[in-house]
Amino acid sequence: MHATAAEISDVARGQQLYQHYCAACHGIGGTGTGVNAPYLERLGRAPADHSDLRSMNRLSDADLYRAISEGKRRDGEPPFMPWWGLTLAPEDIWNLVAFIRTLAKESSE
């Protein structure tokens, strides 16, 4: 059995990193409504809603790690999510993954 990101990471450190690196687009609560979200939405690139349990359950910890490390881009276009793999240590990327997992909640519908 493989350990999850939450079992091997520092969620509190992940929260600090999230507020610094991610919240401008994804929002403090991870709802995809950060201060940069309206600009990105006009470009057709709304930030992911990390609080959406159904959406987040489709992604493995490795998928999240890769998105943070390598960014998000479309072929032939500049990246619309920065790649943090050269800025953050692998340990800190795992800390971010662990924190992001705490944001996903059941829908109230």
Span 73-100, pLDDT tens digits: 767 766 678 889 999 999 999 999 999 9
pTM to 2 decimal places: 0.84
- Domain extent listing, the chain: 10-103
CATH 1.10.10.10 fits 10-103, yes or no: no
Least confident of 27-31, 38-42, 57-61, 96-100: 38-42
- For residues 45 and 35, give the distance between their C-alpha atoms in angstroms, rounded to a whole number: 14
pLDDT of residue 75: 73
Q: Which residue has the higher pLDDT, 51 or 82?
A: 51
